[in-house]
Amino acid sequence: MERLPYIDEHATTIAANREETWSALLRVMCRDPHDPATVPIGFVLDEARPPQRFALKGRHPFAVYRLVFELATGPGDPARIRVRALTWADFPGIHGKVYRALVIGTGGHRVAVRLILKRIAAQARPRGAAVS
């Protein structure tokens, strides 16, 4: 996939180990958590490197995009995992500019990504999730 403009990054720290967090990520992002290729409609699997990187990509007439989740151990504590969601996208043409305004400009993308991170945290530790 071509190099895309950076859009944003959102992150949370989860009180779980790397394997629990990876499993939670797959439960949230895949129709079948045992098959990382079963990603949401509009995406295809770009990369799955357990338990540290899960990348999706997609395109339609108004946008080309990439969403990457990176898992990293918290400083000195393997039971706290930092999950980052990074987005890159291009919105070509006039229709792309309008679409960007609707998706990025309204804050809808930000809300959606933060909701995904909260769901991952809740799946990783059902009794308590994100700590930041």
Q: What is the pLDDT of residues 39-67, one digit of tens each?
A: 999 999 999 999 999 999 999 999 999 99
The reported pLDDT for the residue numbered 126 is 57
Structural domain includes residue 77: yes
Structural domain includes residue 64: yes
Is the separation of the CB atoms in 89 and 126 below 8 Å?
no
Range of the domain at 94: 6-124
Structural domain includes residue 82: yes
Structural domain includes residue 13: yes
| Assigned token pair, 123 | 């799946």
Structural domain includes residue 108: yes
The reported pLDDT for the residue numbered 101 is 98
Structural domain includes residue 63: yes
Structural domain includes residue 132: no
Number of domains in the chain: 1
Structural domain includes residue 131: no
**Segments in the chain below pLDDT 70:** 1, 126-132
The reported pLDDT for the residue numbered 129 is 41
* Domain CATH for 83: 3.30.530.20
Torsions phi, psi for 83 (to 5 deg): -110, 120
